[in-house]
Chain A
Amino acid sequence: MDDAFIRIENITKRFGGVTAVDHVDLGIKRGEFFSLLGPSGCGKTTLLRMIAGFEYPSEGEIYIDGIPVTDLPPNKRPSNMVFQSYAIFPHLNVADNIAYGLRRSGLSRAERNARVEEALAMIRLPGMGKRRADQLSGGQRQRVALARALVNRPKVLLLDEPLGALDKRLREAMQIELRQIQKTVGITFVFVTHDQEEALSMSDRIAVMSNGEVLQIADPVTLYERPNCREVADFIGTMNFFEGKMIGMGGDVAEIDAGPIGRLRARNVPVALTAPGSDVLLAIRPEKIAMHKAGAPGIVGKVSAAAYLGERSHLQVTVDGLKAPVAVAAQTSREPAGTEVSLTWEPDAAIILPRE
């Protein structure tokens, strides 16, 4: 926390009787692409708006670059924001929109114009400065909003679901572009999104939020491979869950009694859950499950549905004694529905979580 560039200390925000953000602590490093990820209503936008200065926290303190900013209005903070609606000023042209924040910068007119031209080149809209705001497409508005914020060279750029309004293809192109721009300018980005794929593909680190609380802060790989609770595991990607009871540890491999599907093995068990008799949840990603012909050792099941997606197939395998079918992502296999199969996985691939 000490090397944190943005420090969120014990921040709480209540609207009337509703707690939108509940005692959040987190540190964001200088130059980091940091995402706040969570379903709508989880408090991520409220947290971002508190960093920007549009909401005043009910409790706690926010520091940017070591300076407490909690009591500063938005215009005195070293941050700029890209709004979800882009908030392009409709009465100004593109160049005047981008130059809006430079009026108080003390720069000469020539320097300001140079900055605007530079920004237009960065967002690959050169020569569009005289264009009216209502003549821009959605993607162009998004870029202008980005340029308008970055042209002020803020210490922090705050982005509130900036890609939400774009269609899928444009969104994916903008994800790559945004990431490149962030690398080039080296400014700390705080990015709010509900799209887990977007967060995984762009971020250095992600904070997963739910009901106003931060569940886990980690890099994308750790978040995907080692979620720390069921909610995170469930929110990021697809996950199979098996309830079980710890039998004991054989070396570093745990033996788990999973009831109707027999005994399962897993490595990397949290110390708190190693005691025999502990209630645990074994989680396994669909692509970590290997599928064999019926008769081979493993969990026996029957393919109930199969979707061919080109690069891989998604299968649902029903197993006697389990309520939910097991999701399997297979690269080669194209088993038709009704086929009897046997499922196995490596002990390394399984994740052991506490059962709430």
Chain B
Amino acid sequence: MGAKRNYWLFGYAVLYLAFLYVPVLFLPLFSFNDSAFIAFPLAGFTTKWYGQMLADDAMHSALWNSLKVGAAVALISTALGLLAAKALTRYRLPGGAAVLGFTSLPLFIPDIVLGISLLILLNTVKMPLSLVSVMLGHVLICAPFAITVLMSRFDGFDKSLEEASLDLGENGWTTFWRVTFPLVLPGIISSLLLTFIVSFDEFLIAYFLAGTDATLPIYIWGQLRFPYKLPVVLALGAVILVVSCVLVVIAEWVRGLGQSGRRTVGV
């Protein structure tokens, strides 16, 4: 009976994985297809879409914009998350639970609502739309991710490690650099990767706030108006897919290092 149940569970698992990943696999498949029409049967192997992609200047500048915004967002939201996570886990704050609730609220507000609200706000204060405004919007939605990742890291290590450092003659600042920072480093790296990916992928808020500087998702959205450009978009999508997979593997690997480091903290 156990074997039978396992058989069904195995089938379920295969279907589930297929549901998750088969649609995504169409991207690389058609990106190598020698036809402008996205349809079976496949017409033959080509890399010309990748060639066109590499030659497209507008794509380059959109990619560069996205990388700049993503890097800035990752750094700013991780720095903010670090401060918030330390405060929320290490000190008895009046209303700490409420603070935590409010900082994670942006996760639950629909991005389209956030995008419109931010657009109204920026218009009101007469701030021109640019990559800076996109970055501010992205920090708003990325900071909660950073706080969550870093808080679990802070919770995972014994508070008496920091006390031991203070007891052994270090002050709060040097204790942070000699003990806290090395121990939360895996969390910081996870947070940087995660917030970068969230910003890199984000379309709605960027669409409202970008002005004339397109980020990569906005550029892709624009390309969809031209049917003959679709294979190029697929090629670009395939590249992003591979890079994302690599980043996720790195993030998981770092998290794994953190887990084994965490085990040593207990008795």
Residues on A close to B: CB < 8 A? 52-54, 73-75, 79-81, 83-87, 89-91, 100-101, 103-105, 132-134, 138, 141, 148-149, 152, 165
Contact = CB atoms under 8 A, between A and B. Distances in A.
B103 interface: no
Given A83-B164, A87-B164, A104 B169 contact: yes
A187 B182 CA distance: 33
Q: Which of A52, A53, A134, A148 has the most CB of B within 10 A?
A: A134
A75 B170 contact: yes
A239 B168 CA distance: 43
Interface in B90-119: none
A83 B267 CA distance: 12
Contact of A91 (B164, B169, B171, B183): B183
Interface string B242-267: 00000000000000000001111111
A149 B170 CA distance: 13
Contacts of B169: 75, 101, 103-105, 152
A165 B267 contact: yes
Given A75-B168, A75-B171, A83-B160, 10 more contacts: A52-B167, A53-B167, A75-B166, A75-B167, A85-B158, A85-B267, A90-B262, A103-B170, A132-B264, A148-B168
A90 B168 contact: no
B155 interface: no
25 contacts: A54-B166, A74-B163, A74-B166, A75-B168, A79-B167, A80-B168, A83-B164, A85-B158, A86-B267, A87-B160, A87-B163, A87-B164, A89-B165, A90-B157, A90-B262, A90-B264, A91-B183, A100-B168, A103-B170, A104-B169, A104-B170, A134-B264, A138-B267, A148-B164, A149-B168
Contacts of B267: 85-86, 138, 141, 165
B264 A133 contact: yes
B161 interface: yes
Contact of B168 (A86, A133, A138, A152): A152
A101 B168 contact: yes
Contacts of B265: 90
A184 to B, nearest CB: 21
Nearest to A165: B267
B43 interface: no
B163 A83 contact: yes
B158 A87 contact: yes
B164 A90 contact: no
Given A73-B166, A75-B170, A80-B167, A87 B161 contact: yes
B179 interface: yes
A133 B267 CA distance: 11
B91 to A, nearest CB: 13
A255 B126 CA distance: 96
Nearest to B265: A90
Contact of A85 (B160, B179, B182, B263): B160
Interface string B164-205: 111111110000001100110000000000000000000000
Given A90-B264, A91-B182, A165-B267, A100 B160 contact: no
Nearest to A84: B160
A81 B167 contact: yes
A132 B163 CA distance: 21
Q: Which 7 A-B pairs have the closest CB atoms?
A: A101-B168, A134-B264, A90-B264, A87-B164, A87-B160, A74-B166, A83-B160
B171 A73 contact: yes
Nearest to B171: A75
Contacts of A138: 267
Q: Which of B166, B168, B170 lies at the interface centre, i.e. has the most chain A CB atoms within 10 A of its CB? A: B168
A105 B170 CA distance: 11
A105 B266 CA distance: 29
Contact of A90 (B163, B171, B183): B183
B84 to A, nearest CB: 23
With a 10 A CB-CB cut-off, give which of A87, A132, A165 has the most chain B CB atoms. A87
A148 B165 CA distance: 11
B171 A134 contact: no
Contacts of A100: 164-165, 168, 178
Nearest to B263: A134
A133 B158 CA distance: 14
B160 A89 contact: no
B4 to A, nearest CB: 43
A89 B177 CA distance: 13
A190 to B, nearest CB: 13
B60 to A, nearest CB: 41
Nearest to A79: B167
Nearest to B179: A89
Candidate in B164, B178, B182 with the most chain A CB atoms within 10 angstroms: B164
A103 B163 CA distance: 17
Contact of B164 (A89, A133, A134, A141): A89
B90 to A, nearest CB: 13
A149 B168 CA distance: 7
Contacts of B161: 87, 89-90
